[in-house]
Amino acid sequence: MTVRDIRLFGDPVLKTVSDPIIELDEKARALIQDLIDTTKLPGRAGVAAPQIGVNLRAFSFNVAGTVGYIINPELVELSGEKTLVDEGCLSVPELWHKTPRYEFAKAVGIDLEGNEVVLEGNGLMAQALQHECDHLDGLVYLDRLEDAERKVSMKNLRATDWFMK
């Protein structure tokens, strides 16, 4: 289908809780294909529908050479130690910050045929699941930062060429 443009921090769609996908129709299939195509570009671990301007609960991921998607995901388990990991976001280009994330995450949703999908993992997969589900809940990783790191991130954000000042 299409590689879609990424919406940047400041766009209201990124701060809006996404609606569930009700109909698994051609519109949903086109959205999933666009998410996959957009995620396959080098250096991308995932893209959530709000990042391409669509207020629906779906995302695609590209972790350790595996590309996939999930519709209407819900995080059902977060476990292990919560550690600070270097994290960035396509919607917040050029910035990386220490973000608290759990070591393990598990999400449950469906595929385009309505079959249950279970995604789980440690490391980058755990981080991607948490990051992309946050997007569906109207959060960006900057919202998860500890106070001192958040102050630094806001200063760095204002110094970028792309941020709407």
In the chain, what percentage of residues exceed pLDDT 90?
Answer: 95
Asked whether the beta carbons of 162 and 95 are under 8 A apart, the reply is no
**Contact in structure between 128 and 45 (CB atoms under 8 Å):** yes
| Residues with a known catalytic role | 132
Q: Is the pTM of this model over 0.85?
A: yes
Inform me whether the pLDDT recorded for 135 exceeds 90: yes
Please answer whether residues 40 and 65 qualify as being in contact, where contact means their C-beta atoms are separated by less than 8 angstroms.
no
Task: Band the pLDDT of 152: cuts 50, 70, 90.
Answer: very high
- Quick one: pLDDT at residue 1? 60
Identify the three-state secondary structure at position 64. coil
Q: Is the pLDDT of residue 133 over 90?
A: yes
**pLDDT tens track for 62-87:** 999 899 999 999 999 999 999 999 99
Which of 91, 77, 84 has the alpha carbon at shortest distance from 144? 84
pLDDT at residue 93 in the model: 95
**Of 111, 101, 119, 107, the residue nearest 74 (C-alpha):** 107
Q: Residue 89 is encoded by which pair of tokens?
A: 């976001």
Query: Is residue 143 a contact partner of residue 100, using CB atoms and an 8 Å limit?
Result: no
What's the rounded Cα separation, in Å, for the pair 48 and 19?
12
d(CA 62, CA 68): 7
What is the distance between the alpha carbons of residues 154 and 118, in angstroms, rounded to a whole number? 35
Domains in the chain, start-ordered, CATH in brackets?
Answer: 12-86+99-139 (3.90.45.10)
The first and second tokens of residue 124, run together, are: 């980058």
